[in-house]
């Protein structure tokens, strides 16, 4: 992710001029001390007249955003190393920074015309261990970036565009921030997301919370799950499965508790499903050795492989059984990568397969980079499991399943065809055993990301509800849509969060209605996991 460049971006600031002494400047960091800024997702250490920050998920966010008028932001920074690192200054969804892999400065994002552009050699402007000044300036429709008062970029933008958040991101670098300030058209940032958050990254002993899942029990209890990533934002390493309960429709919640932890290994991809007949909640999850990365697992070079586990609760999530491995039943021997969900599964309501539990999954076949979706099935309330057939075509993985009237199942899938940034779908007339009619869904744009699909009945009509970051270019704009015709057409939907957002999970509560648990932030999608109630119209 080129976001690495952010370290420089920190400098979002305006020309080097010494904002320290500028009486018209708003100071975010002065003489190394925080004044109007906050650090999220990483480490911060106070030094002698500098603030030392680092960590892949770390951001130093200014306490004011940049508006649509003229503005100048500046920072004085020191990078302890450049080789093997990367950092950037982030302005809204755009970045100015450097990447040691290419040994160049770069700009990218909508503010800089979309595509990544290189700006010359990093070492020509920055020396490890020595302070330098970075500045960003907008005057009318003209923007520029300077290092030590030398202009390295100039371009034109829409004059009515508000620039958004201003932050430094050390990414793979360790950054000393001596000063950070701005002046000009500064605006109050959006309200914090904390009031809707079930989990806030950096709190509770975890670096990052990701991968939400949500179900409702027959008694009306809401169970929310996520991954607690101990030491970084990474998809691997020490990751636990966490849960919170609500017995009042999501108004109040129990404290978080761990339901699956295996020391420093990865316990993730929560995918709960409820048996409405017995009330049992079945939680599917995948495991891997915390030292193994996805690329090694796919290549067959890992210390272990991806394994599949199931946990069960017969008391609305109060207690859980010990994790039971079902890898042999769920996964073929020639599959390398494997993932359950994430999100939730369903129980078939109608037809010859009524009562079957269906959990969406994905996998990669050994010796290939071919992603496929499939489902695992249980006809005895989650005691035993077997796998169904994969989708006819590849380039799909994380998926979500729903039932339409008559017992037909619809599988909605994350699409890896970068030339067609929209979801794919397939259908099953045998309860998830096989899939056919795989096709793109033109009405559902996506940036290559997980999504959620469910069915809800209103009177004698069945509706599908779908949530995802509705953008073909980035993980932003979390949107919930409805379909009254089994997914043939979709409404424009309700936007729950315009800013950065990613994974989501939908559920229906008898009193609270449709609920959406999703990842969102003001700076990046993984700041919080929020619960919101979209104001949907069912017609």
* Catalytic annotation, residues: 235, 503, 519
Round to whole Å and give the CA distance between 191 and 538. Answer: 30
Alpha carbon dihedral 359, 448, 519, 55, in 10-degree steps, equals 120
Round to whole Å and give the CA distance between 189 and 522. Answer: 9
With CA atoms as reference, report the closest residue to 186 among 169, 164, 168, 167. 164
Per-residue tokens: 180 = 């950070």
Half-sphere exposure of residue 269, counting CA atoms within 13 Å on the CB side?
A: 30
Query: Can you tell me whether residue 281 is helix, strand or coil?
Result: strand
Cβ–Cβ under 8 Å, residues 424 and 413 = yes
- Which position has the token pair 């480490």? 43
- Which position has the token pair 């109608």? 350
Who's near 333: CB < 8 A, 6+ residues apart?
none
Cβ–Cβ under 8 Å, residues 403 and 372 = no
Round to whole Å and give the CA distance between 310 and 282. Answer: 7
Round to whole Å and give the CA distance between 512 and 495. Answer: 18
The span from the first CA to the last CA of the chain, in angstroms, equals 41
Who's near 10: CB < 8 A, 6+ residues apart?
60, 75, 77, 87, 88, 89, 134, 167, 168, 169, 170, 175, 177, 180
With CA atoms as reference, report the closest residue to 286 among 361, 379, 183. 361
Helical H segments across 375-464, by residue range: none
DSSP, res 151: E
Who's near 236: CB < 8 A, 6+ residues apart?
266, 288, 290, 291, 292, 293, 294
Dihedral pair phi/psi, residue 72, rounded to 5°: -140, 135
- Decide the pairing of beta strands 528-532 and 197-200: antiparallel
Round to whole Å and give the CA distance between 486 and 538. Answer: 13
* Exposed e or buried b per residue across 477-499, where buried means at least 16 C-beta atoms within 10 angstroms of its C-beta: bbbbbbbbebbeebbebbebbeb
DSSP, res 123: G
Count, residues in the chain:
539
- Decide the pairing of beta strands 166-169 and 59-62: antiparallel
Distance from the Cα of residue 189 to its chain's centroid = 21
Count the neighbouring beta carbons within 10 Å of the beta carbon of residue 110: 16
Dihedral pair phi/psi, residue 142, rounded to 5°: -100, 135
């Amino acid at each position: 992710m080129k976001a690495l460049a952010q370290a420089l971006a920190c400098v979002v600031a305006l020309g080097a001029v010494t904002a320290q002494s500028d009486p018209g400047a708003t100071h975010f960091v002065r003489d190394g001390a925080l004044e109007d800024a906050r650090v999220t997702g990483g480490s911060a250490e106070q030094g002698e007249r500098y603030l030392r920050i680092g960590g892949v998920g770390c951001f130093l966010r200014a306490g004011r955003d940049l508006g649509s008028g003229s503005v100048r932001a500046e920072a004085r920074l020191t990078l302890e190393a450049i080789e093997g690192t990367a950092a950037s200054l982030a302005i809204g969804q755009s970045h100015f920074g450097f990447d040691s892999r290419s040994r160049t400065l770069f700009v990218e994002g909508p503010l800089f015309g979309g595509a990544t552009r290189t700006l010359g050699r990093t070492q020509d402007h920055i020396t490890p261990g020595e302070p330098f000044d970075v500045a960003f300036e907008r005057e009318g429709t003209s923007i520029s970036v300077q290092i030590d008062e030398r202009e390295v970029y100039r371009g034109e933008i829409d004059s009515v565009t508000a620039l958004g958040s201003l932050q430094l991101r050390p990414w793979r670098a360790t950054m000393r921030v001596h000063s950070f300030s701005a002046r000009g058209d500064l605006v109050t940032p959006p309200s914090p997301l904390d009031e809707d958050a079930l989990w806030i990254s950096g709190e509770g002993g975890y670096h990052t919370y990701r991968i939400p899942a949500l179900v409702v029990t027959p008694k009306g209890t809401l169970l929310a799950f996520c991954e607690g990533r101990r030491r970084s934002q990474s998809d691997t390493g020490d990751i636990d499965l966490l849960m919170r309960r609500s017995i009042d429709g999501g108004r109040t919640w129990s404290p978080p508790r761990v339901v699956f932890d295996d020391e420093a290994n990865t316990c993730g991809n929560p995918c709960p499903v409820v048996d409405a007949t017995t009330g049992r909640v079945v939680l599917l999850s995948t495991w891997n050795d915390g030292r193994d990365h996805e690329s090694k697992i796919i290549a067959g070079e890992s210390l272990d492989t991806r394994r599949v586990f199931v946990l069960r609760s017969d008391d609305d999530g109060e207690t859980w059984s010990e994790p039971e491995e079902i890898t042999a039943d769920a996964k073929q021997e020639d599959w390398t990568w494997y993932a359950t969900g994430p999100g939730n599964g369903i129980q078939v309501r109608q037809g010859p397969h009524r009562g079957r539990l269906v959990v969406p999954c994905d996998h990669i076949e050994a010796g290939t980079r071919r992603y496929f979706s499939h489902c695992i099935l249980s006809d005895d309330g989650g005691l035993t499991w077997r796998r169904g057939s994969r989708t006819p075509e590849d380039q799909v993985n994380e998926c979500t399943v729903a039932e339409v009237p008559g017992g037909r199942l619809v599988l909605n899938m994350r699409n890896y065809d970068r030339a067609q940034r929209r979801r794919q779908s397939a259908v099953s007339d045998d309860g998830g055993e096989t899939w056919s009619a795989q096709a793109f869904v033109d009405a559902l744009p996506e940036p290559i990301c997980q999504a959620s699909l469910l069915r809800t009945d209103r009177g004698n009509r069945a509706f599908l509800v779908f949530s995802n970051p509705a953008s073909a270019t980035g993980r932003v704009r979390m949107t919930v849509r409805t379909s009254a015709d089994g997914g043939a057409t979709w409404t424009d939907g309700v936007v729950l969060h315009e800013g950065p957002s990613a994974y989501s999970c939908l559920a229906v509560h008898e009193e609270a209605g449709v609920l959406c648990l999703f990842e969102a932030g003001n700076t990046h999608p993984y700041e919080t996991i929020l619960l919101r109630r979209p104001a949907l119209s069912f017609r």
